[in-house]
Amino acid sequence: MKSLFRPLFLAVLFTLSFTACKQNSDSSLLADSTMNPEDIALDGTTEVLEMPAPPFVPTPVGDRAAKKIIVNLEIIEKVGELANGVEYNFWTFNGTVPGAFIRARVGDEIELRLKNHEDSVFPHNIDLHSVNGPGGGAEASFVAPGKEAVFTFKALHAGLFVYHCAAAPVGMHIANGMYGLILIEPEGGLPAVDKEYYVMQGDFYTKGAFGEKGLQEFDIDKAIAEQPDYVLFNGNTGSLLGANELQAKVGETVRIFVGNGGPNLTSSFHVIGEIFDRVYVDGGMTINTNVQTTSIPAGGASIVEFKADVPGDYVLVDHAIFRAFHKGALGKIKVNGDENPKVFKKNEPLQTKS
Closest to 207 in 3D by CA, of 228, 225, 226: 228
Closest to 285 in 3D by CA, of 154, 200, 189, 197: 189
Cα 161 from Cα 128, distance rounded (Å): 7
Cα 12 from Cα 18, distance rounded (Å): 10
| pLDDT digits (tens), the chain, 354 positions | 444 434 444 443 444 444 444 444 445 554 445 689 999 999 999 999 999 999 999 999 999 999 999 999 999 999 999 999 999 999 999 999 999 999 999 999 999 999 999 999 999 999 999 999 999 999 999 999 999 999 999 999 999 999 999 999 999 999 999 999 999 999 999 999 999 999 999 999 999 999 999 999 999 999 999 999 999 999 999 999 999 999 999 999 999 999 999 999 999 999 999 999 999 999 999 999 999 999 999 999 999 999 999 999 999 999 999 999 999 999 999 999 999 999 999 998 888 776
pTM for this entry: 0.91
Cα 207 from Cα 201, distance rounded (Å): 20
pLDDT tens digits, one per residue of 3-27: 443 444 444 344 444 444 444 444 5
DSSP secondary structure letter of residue 236: S
Closest to 123 in 3D by CA, of 87, 89, 88, 149: 149
Task: Give the SS3 label for residue 238.
Answer: coil
pLDDT tens digits, one per residue of 107-146: 999 999 999 999 999 999 999 999 999 999 999 999 999 9
Cα 315 from chain centroid (whole Å): 17
Q: Calculate the alpha carbon distances from 211 to 240, 326, 332 in Å.
A: 18, 10, 20
